[in-house]
Structure 1
Amino acid sequence: MAVTALCFIPDQRLALAEMLRVARRRIALGLLNRHSLLYWQKGRGGGQGAYRGAHWHTAAQVRELFAGQPVRNLRMAFSIFVPGGGWIAQQLESVLPASLPLGSFFVVTADVV
């Protein structure tokens, strides 16, 4: 499991290959989503604060990153649709589907073959 690690590694394909090499059965990655409100708040123009220099992924980029890798059952789920929390954010999080590709954070899982 790696949470946002790939977002800060220049050679993501090489890093992913190494993660897959040492994984036993499954892999889970947490990534920052370019198609999110958080990107518009903190990621544009090179990023702010802890997000400075981060690569914000799209679902298409993730599929491309995994293409040709020894995996199957690639899945993505999205969360944190409204950054900052609060009551309204919590209510929206409870009803928006995890398949909606607009959450600030997404988890990618796959079986390693």
Structure 2
Amino acid sequence: MTQYFLTMPHDSAEEPTMESMQAFDPAEFEAVIAAVGAFNTALKDSGAWLFAGGLNPPSTAKTVDASGGDVRVRDEPFVEASSYVGGFWVIEAVDEAAAVEWAAQASTALGSRIEVRALQEAPA
């Protein structure tokens, strides 16, 4: 089976965090958390779940560059963008259509768009 990276974008201007999301309407926030929990359970029950996580915003990033011999560490993301990956799942699916179906379920749970990308296979 192929592994797929399902990502949830966030708006860079807003940089939502778990703390800032506490300001959302409590009932709506609770409903999203429950929907994502149900989605995660469905992934696990199906055997598609590998792992998932939420990411802190780009303003917390460090970019490390040792390509020139010296190690340089910058307190910044490696790229500026209007949106960024705020959370992700790595799943296994029999094909892209199955991965897209999981992404559709994630999109419904979150009320957000989801990107689907296959992980590269190891060279033979």
Normalised to the residue count of structure 2, the TM-score between the two structures is: 0.30
Q: State which structure, 1 or 2, has the greater radius of gyration over its C-alpha atoms.
A: 2
Normalised to the residue count of structure 1, the TM-score between the two structures is: 0.32
Quick check: which one's strand share is greater?
Answer: 2
Quick check: which one's helix share is greater?
Answer: 1
